[in-house]
Structure 1
Amino acid sequence: MRQTAILALILLAACGQQPAGKPVERMELGANGKITDLNAPKPTPSAVPVAKVASACQPVTFEQAKLTDCVADPAKDRIAMVLGPKGEAPYRSFAQFAAKRSADASPVVFAMNAGMFDGEGKPIGYYVENGDRLKELNRNDGPGNFHMKPNGVFFGSDGKWQIRTSDDFYHNVGDRPKFGTQSGPMLVIDGKLHPQISQDGPSRTIRDGVGIDPQGRAHFVISDEAVSFGKLARYFRDAVKAKNALYLDGTVSALWDPATGRMDSRAPIGPIVVVSAK
């Protein structure tokens, strides 16, 4: 009986010890058949107040996949990048950002994760916030989606928003923009799909990206179910008619839409793109 009791206590103690969480790995490339995240979680909206305004985000269906397309219009919206309070650690969530946001700040139209990051939530590529460059352009080679060349930069100033490949940005953009974030891979380049993105590869996860339509509006699109690189890229090319589109991230992809009360919180995030009313 004594040995049985001791064994039971050992088992109970083991059950109470949970392993530390591991940072999210975003290493799938999609074009080489490697599968890394077939069981990506669905969006997990938090209970937040619903703003009394029309939503800029609309549900769409593309090739039988459910997506949400949020549109920022330069005529009435402004875009900014946000990482964390000046001199402090990144927010890592919309909830933390909302809690510390000034009460007299312009209303948030929507926000989305925007750019890949390290274990501390800091950007691994070019990053400009309110005209301050916090990270230089990253043209290094390496593994993972970010280094699936060409990658690119989403940036802008004074209501003019652009997406360029990192090499194009390096050679042709001299003035520092008001905001900027580097990510990868590019999804659409001069109207054509990234050459390494397969038609509908086996890698599936929740993904988000940004593209500029012919009217100069920025479409921030997040999938509401696991999709391939190819499907998201084709949405930007065929539905948005974007000449250039950039992948922002996968698995950790998240949207905050105050108009509907949606605030995704599936995993810690890094840089945040915030669209607010002028």
Structure 2
Amino acid sequence: MTRAGRWLLRAALALLPLPALAVECRDIDLGTNRFTVCEARAAEDIRLFLRDETGAVIGHFSTLADRLAAQGQTLQLAMNGGMYHDDRAPVGLYIENGQQEMRLIPNAGPGNFGMLPNGVFCIRNGRADVIETLLFQREAPACRYATQSGPMLVIDGALHPRFLPDSTSRNLRNGVGTSADGQRVVFAISRNLVTFHEFASLFRDTLGLPNALYLDGKVSRLYAPQIGRDDPGFWLGPIVGIVTPAN
């Protein structure tokens, strides 16, 4: 797809009505690759979760869903929400309900997290944005919730410069992308092993999003009861979720 074609697609997608539900999920097949995509308005109650009131790591979607249910709330969507150490502490910046647990890491480092440019998913009142780390450092937006991860998948409409179309490195992958006005928030997870280039292209060329952030690979999991997804697995670190009042 040409650059002009991508921008026309992006403009057309921006005119589409936003989801009527808190979150709407669908499957997308692109050639031999299969993805699940869940889209929400930034005005929805999007949060990050890591620990309970005792400081213990929540770790599982079921634990989080039960805790919210006891508070009269429903977990509509959840996904692993950023990279973490063996003790489940976040690798980079982590802010939950205005409280910062981990600082921003602006420098390059090992692994996918340190493959610059990386970025921050920042949730504010009425908008949510994926922001490249150095830009985030300069602008210092007041995020109520924030998680740093990496690498960036899409940066201002361009794929990460280190992603190769002919790469043979494949994995399950999940990430989040946002629109330029901060009103569309799209979470995606692959249903088969994909390259970084293929995954980033989903956000830019199919979903029409100018910025997107990789959240993780092997641990990628989705909780989306509306489509029957409650992926099992080991304990997670940060979890990103969308919450509504219980019916």
1:5-20 to structure 2, matched below 5 A, reads none
By how many angstroms is 1:93 displaced?
1.6
- Look up the equivalent residue of 2:35 and give its one-letter code: L
Structure 1 residues 200, 98: CA separation in 2 closer, same or farther (over 3 Å shift)?
farther
| TM-score, length of structure 1 as denominator length | 0.76
* Counterpart secondary structure, 1:233: helix
Rounded Cα–Cα distance in structure 2 between residues aligned with 1:270 and 1:107: 20
For the 8 Å contact 2:25–2:38, the answer to whether it is kept is yes
- Indicate which of 35, 39, 51 corresponds to 1:71: 39
Q: Are residue 58 (structure 1) and residue 34 (structure 2) matched?
A: no
Q: Are residue 204 (structure 1) and residue 170 (structure 2) matched?
A: yes
By how many angstroms is 1:91 displaced?
1.6
Rounded Cα–Cα distance in structure 2 between residues aligned with 1:146 and 1:192: 19
Structure 1 residues 54, 179: CA separation in 2 closer, same or farther (over 3 Å shift)?
closer
Aligned residue for 2:149? 183
Q: Are residue 227 (structure 1) and residue 228 (structure 2) matched?
A: no
By how many angstroms is 1:139 displaced?
1.8
Rounded Cα–Cα distance in structure 2 between residues aligned with 1:140 and 1:198: 23
- Give CA-to-partner distance per residue, 1:31-80, whole Å, 9 cap, x none: xxxxxxxxxxxxxxxxxxxxxx89621111123211000011134x2110
Rounded Cα–Cα distance in structure 2 between residues aligned with 1:267 and 1:207: 16
Aligned residue for 1:91? 58
Structure 1 unaligned residues grouped into runs of 5+: 1-52
- Give CA-to-partner distance per residue, 1:232-266, whole Å, 9 cap, x none: 00000101111110000001000001223321113
- Give CA-to-partner distance per residue, 1:70-124, whole Å, 9 cap, x none: 011134x211000020342212221222233342343222111010000011101
* Counterpart secondary structure, 2:198: helix
Q: Across the two proteins, how many residue pairs are aligned to each other?
A: 224
Report the RMSD for the aligned CA atoms in angstroms. 1.8
Aligned residue for 2:3? none
Aligned residue for 1:36? none
Runs of at least 4 residues of structure 1 off by over 3 A? none
Radius of gyration: which is bigger? 1
By how many angstroms is 1:140 displaced?
3.3
Aligned residue for 1:106? 73
- Look up the equivalent residue of 1:264 and give its one-letter code: D
Aligned residue for 1:154? 121
1:42-53 to structure 2, matched below 5 A, reads none
Q: For structure 1, which segment, 97-106 or 83-92, has the greater mean C-alpha deviation from structure 2 after superposition?
A: 97-106
By how many angstroms is 1:141 displaced?
2.7
Aligned residue for 2:239? 272
Structure 1 residues 54, 213: CA separation in 2 closer, same or farther (over 3 Å shift)?
closer
Aligned residue for 1:7? none
- Percent of residue pairs identical: 39
1:120-269 to structure 2, matched below 5 A, reads 120-173=87-140, 175-213=141-179, 216-269=183-236
* Counterpart secondary structure, 1:259: helix
Q: For structure 1, which segment, 87-96 or 97-106, has the greater mean C-alpha deviation from structure 2 after superposition?
A: 97-106
Q: For structure 1, which segment, 194-203 or 123-132, has the greater mean C-alpha deviation from structure 2 after superposition?
A: 194-203
- Look up the equivalent residue of 1:198 and give its one-letter code: L
Rounded Cα–Cα distance in structure 2 between residues aligned with 1:277 and 1:100: 13
Q: For structure 1, which segment, 206-215 or 106-115, has the greater mean C-alpha deviation from structure 2 after superposition?
A: 206-215
* Counterpart secondary structure, 1:72: strand
Rounded Cα–Cα distance in structure 2 between residues aligned with 1:251 and 1:123: 16
- Give CA-to-partner distance per residue, 1:127-151, whole Å, 9 cap, x none: 1111111111012332100000010
| TM-score, length of structure 2 as denominator length | 0.85
By how many angstroms is 1:214 displaced?
5.2
Higher strand residue share: 2
By how many angstroms is 1:272 displaced?
0.3
For the 8 Å contact 2:223–2:230, the answer to whether it is kept is yes
